[in-house]
Structure 1
Amino acid sequence: MNYIETTKEEKGKKIKLFYEDYGEGQPVILIHGWPLSHKMWEYQVEKIVDAGFRCITYDRRGFGASDKPWEGYNYDALASDLNDVINTLDLSNVTIVGFSMGGGEVARYIGDYGTKKLSKAALISAVPPFMLKTENNPDGLDKDVFEGFKKKIRKDRAGFLKGFGDNFYNYDKNKDRISDAQKHLDWSIACSASAKATIDCVDAFGLTDFREDLKKFDVPTLVVHGDADEVVPMNISGRKSKELIENATFKVIEGAPHGLIVTHKDQLNDILLQFLKK
């Protein structure tokens, strides 16, 4: 198994991040969403490698096969982990692609480290620019939404994750696009994550303001969102990210839920590959 050691320590220990690395050519890093792992990119990795790119996926700390420290789930730490992946693998001219929570790593990485090692960036069903409702962000979600997530996770994490999976795919409307077996696979991946990481990351993706980070984007950027996303609504996320990122390309997939990486994978893959090749 492949692991990268982070430079940022927690309680005096470095964190080991699991990663997979396939193909040759220009590197593309795929950053997974909450509460899943690198495995969520199954239907994208093959297409990217076959198109002539080097495709790297990794598990966020606390998830998948990576170490599961008790603390360290803020976006500065997570962006530092992404920076360690890029530096350890000696990558340049990289495209970083973040899904949902992973879009926060893309934004904060650029905010903290700039774009000198990047070629492009992509935000898919992503949480930036700012999920929380505040006086200067009136279209956001009430803090009670995120507190409710944490309360339900603490009460019955497995039960919460099962219901979240239904919302992730708008299952009642997409039964012809996704099987119960796929939902169960996602549930098992999510259940294998650290319970503490699962809770702490709710605050990370729910309360972090990425608006200043997005203003620092100066590489070609793709923003993709489904207009039926019930987890990260498009009008408070993807559409506003497009407005803040100079010269961003905004693609809306009609009828697509949050989990369009599976339900609308053919449309998403076409959009992503066109962007990578451009």
Structure 2
Amino acid sequence: MGFKIPVESGVGLYVEDIGPSDGQPILFIHGWPLNHECFEYQYNQLPKLGYRCIGVDLRGFGKSDKPWFGYTYDQLSDDIRVVIDTLGLNNVTLAGHSMGGAIAIRYMARHQEHHIARLALLAAAAPSFTKGPNYPYGMTKAEVDDLIQQTYTDRPALLGTFADLFFEKPISDPFKQWFINIGLTAAGYSTAYTAVSLRDEKLWEDLASIQVPTGIFHGKQDKVCPFEFGEILHAMIYSSSFYVYEDSGHGLFYCDQDQFNYDLSSFIEKS
């Protein structure tokens, strides 16, 4: 079932609510530059196990409204708070992929873990997506600037290149086109402005706010958010569990979907 939830005047987020209404809720936050549809292969299976899967299109993406403003992690996490409160969700597993993982971390700090029982970070773009002093991992700011420029000049080509980075294991040409089409449902300016947030926002101070059980899911071959991101998060988040996918890249929830779905379910059940 799909519907929109107003998060502020003139801005509504598209939400898909899949599975039993009384099931344990998993709220999925997609990464850059996609939308909730990227978790199709979780929605296919996890409701069979009794989970209520809730997919959200972030503002500017998918079927959500596309304002000119509001693409900071603070605003994006505030939007998630409105979705949780509007749906009356409790005991939530908050699952964020890539930039969505960064937004989930900001949510935990900014909203004091409001109604979140456990956190799942899937190849999260954290604690920093870009390199900095004493942090040699991720992209340089200049490399992200190039992505932003490509967004403004040839977004379909950018998405095609990004698809090749996203999946370590072979994908079919139709699947790659499906991935590109998902990205093209976003506004170009939304894609650019969230890339600015990826480039500039840091989450080091947010990590101490996380006190709920946390699962860190990361592919060793990740070319977008290097595996070192997951290692650092595991070291810095108290009593976190680390799920490593030896042969997967950034799209681990697709390329290792059976193992990932099993691991996510196991993590929820044990915590």
TM-score, structure 2 normalization: 0.95
Q: After superposition, where does 1:80-91 map in structure 2 within 5 Å? A: 80-91=78-89
Residue matched to 1:15: 11
Residue matched to 2:4: 3
**What is the CA–CA distance in structure 1 between the aligned matches of 2:261 and 2:217, rounded to whole Å?**
11
Unaligned runs of at least 5 residues, structure 2: none
Residue matched to 2:176: 183
Displacement of 1:191: 1.1
AA partner of residue 16 (structure 1): G
**What is the CA–CA distance in structure 1 between the aligned matches of 2:160 and 2:106, rounded to whole Å?**
30
The percent identity for this pair of structures is: 37
1:185 aligned counterpart, secondary structure:
helix
Q: 1:121 aligns with which of 119, 122, 128?
A: 119
Displacement of 1:140: 4.4
Residue matched to 1:249: 241
**What is the CA–CA distance in structure 1 between the aligned matches of 2:124 and 2:57, rounded to whole Å?**
17
Displacement of 1:152: 1.7
How many residue pairs get matched?
A: 267
Deviations 1:203-258 (A, max 9, x none): 112221011111110000000100000011111x1111111100010111001011
Displacement of 1:46: 2.7
Displacement of 1:116: 4.0
Residue matched to 1:196: 189
**What is the CA–CA distance in structure 1 between the aligned matches of 2:250 and 2:113, rounded to whole Å?**
27
Question: Is 1:46–2:39 an aligned residue pair?
Answer: no
Contact 1:134 1:140 in 2 (8 A): no
Contact 1:31 1:58 in 2 (8 A): yes
Q: After superposition, where does 1:54-93 map in structure 2 within 5 Å? A: 54-93=52-91
**What is the CA–CA distance in structure 2 between the aligned matches of 1:81 and 1:183, rounded to whole Å?**
29
Contact 1:229 1:258 in 2 (8 A): yes
Which consecutive aligned stretches of 4+ in structure 1 deviate over 4 angstroms post-superposition?
none
Deviations 1:70-104 (A, max 9, x none): 11100000000000010000111111000111001
Displacement of 1:51: 1.1
**What is the CA–CA distance in structure 1 between the aligned matches of 2:141 and 2:4, rounded to whole Å?**
36
Unaligned runs of at least 5 residues, structure 1: 8-12
**What is the CA–CA distance in structure 1 between the aligned matches of 2:91 and 2:139, rounded to whole Å?**
36
Displacement of 1:136: 4.5
Displacement of 1:137: 2.9
TM-score, structure 1 normalization: 0.93
